[in-house]
Amino acid sequence: MSVPSRVIIATRESALALCQARYIRARLITLYPSLEVELLGVTTQGDRLLSSSLSKVGGKGLFVKELENALEEGHADIAVHSMKDVPVLLPPGFAITVAGEREDPRDAFVSNKYANLSSLPAGAKVGTSSLRREAQLRARHPHVAVVPLRGNVQTRLLKLDQGQYSAIILAAAGLKRLGLASRITATLEPEDSLPAAGQGALAVECRESRTDLIEMVAPLCDPETQWCVRAERSVSRALSGSCVMPIGALALRVETGWSVRGFVASPDGKRYVAAEEWTSDLSADPEAVGQALAHRLLADGAREILDSLPHDQ
């Protein structure tokens, strides 16, 4: 295998994104001690447009496009993303690798006053940037007021500490990677808040033509994490999932094989369809299992929900 002598990693400039990029850099240097690895900070449109919810300004792909531009224009060799931010349909000519073992995929309840969602009083303000989280909150806890919350992790925590919210919902993985696990008041189990496809996993993206880079990052892949992420993204892809659609998916390795759960909901949480697909075949194709789950959801009523929702422009 031919390993380049120098690699530039494109990354967002938030503390979490830089932490994740530095983790990949460290892993690469451990694998290839002579490799020179630099970081290229990029400000994405998603980082600039903080006054509106993601579902209204174009979806999570806004956190990825500028990094892909850096790859396409030759300013960087690879890009590191949170996998949940990567659209399930990549632009032509790009490839992704699931990198490393997955961190905790669950959502986290963070509050300075309340122990959990059930203890929130009527009208309590719960902040989230995710339509997926909002739909599940409205379905299971209709007594709370869901309020938009954008910004990086530290900004969101500051707004909570300033008293603008009774509680906020964040990805547990991000808090743990930043050394902020102590801020987690309660971890939300999938039965209460099913995560986004790929949540807690990292993605390394490069140009499809760069087979040297694809081979170089391949040893970073954790087989179990890869299986789960491929299955989850298959669910979302089969449902034409995007940021304007409240969709969640979570795959887990269980004693009897693999379990994949998913849901589709209306933004107000009044219509909600959930299902699970599992297989005892450890060598099962993750995409096939994910597609089977998506077809079950569609047959159970998800099609009507999805048809009523707006789609990305």
The one-character DSSP state at 242 is -
Please check the confidence at residue 312 and state whether its pLDDT lies above 60. no
| Coil, helix or strand at residue 264 | strand
| Coil, helix or strand at residue 243 | coil
Tokens of 287: 């995409």
Question: Radius of gyration over alpha carbons of the chain, in Å?
Answer: 19
CB-count burial class (<10 Å; 0-12, 13-18, 19+) for 221: middle
Per-residue confidence band for 313, with pLDDT thresholds at 50, 70 and 90: very low
Closest CA to 176 of 199, 158, 147, 193: 199
- Identical fold for domains 6-100+201-221 and 107-188, yes or no, is yes
- List, for residues 56-69, the tens digit of each pLDDT value: 444 556 779 999 99
At residue 56, φ and ψ (nearest 5 deg) are -100, -15
Residue 311: predicted pLDDT: 57
Q: Which fold has domain 6-100+201-221?
A: D-Maltodextrin-Binding Protein; domain 2 (3.40.190)
Per DSSP bridges, beta strands 202-207 and 36-42 are unpaired
Mean pLDDT of 75-84: 97
Residue 57: predicted pLDDT: 45
Per-residue confidence band for 179, with pLDDT thresholds at 50, 70 and 90: very high
Tokens of 82: 């949170």
Could you give the C-alpha distances from 99 to 38, 103, 236, 296, 297, in angstroms and in order?
A: 18, 11, 20, 30, 29
Residue 194: predicted pLDDT: 98
Q: How far is CA 276 from the centre of its chain?
A: 20
Boundaries of every domain in the chain: 6-100+201-221, 107-188, 232-307
Per-residue confidence band for 245, with pLDDT thresholds at 50, 70 and 90: confident
Residue 1: predicted pLDDT: 76
Q: Which residues contact 283 (CB under 8 A, 6 or more apart)?
A: none
Please check the confidence at residue 281 and state whether its pLDDT lies above 70. yes
Average pLDDT, the chain: 92
Q: Which residues contact 209 (CB under 8 A, 6 or more apart)?
A: 93
In the beta sheet, which residues pair with residue 249? 262
Catalytic annotation, residues: 85
Q: Which fold has domain 107-188?
A: D-Maltodextrin-Binding Protein; domain 2 (3.40.190)
Mean pLDDT of 22-31: 98
Per DSSP bridges, beta strands 78-82 and 6-12 are parallel
Residue 46: predicted pLDDT: 52
pTM (2 decimals)?
0.91
Please check the confidence at residue 52 and state whether its pLDDT lies above 60. no
The CATH number of the domain covering residues in 232-307: 3.30.160.40
Residue 58: predicted pLDDT: 47
Mean pLDDT of 38-44: 91
- List, for residues 104-136, the tens digit of each pLDDT value: 999 999 999 999 999 999 999 999 989 999 999
Sequential DSSP letters for 26-90: HHHHHH-TT-EEEEEEE--HHHH--SS-HHHHT-GGGGTHHHHHHHHTTS-SEEEEEGGGS-SSP
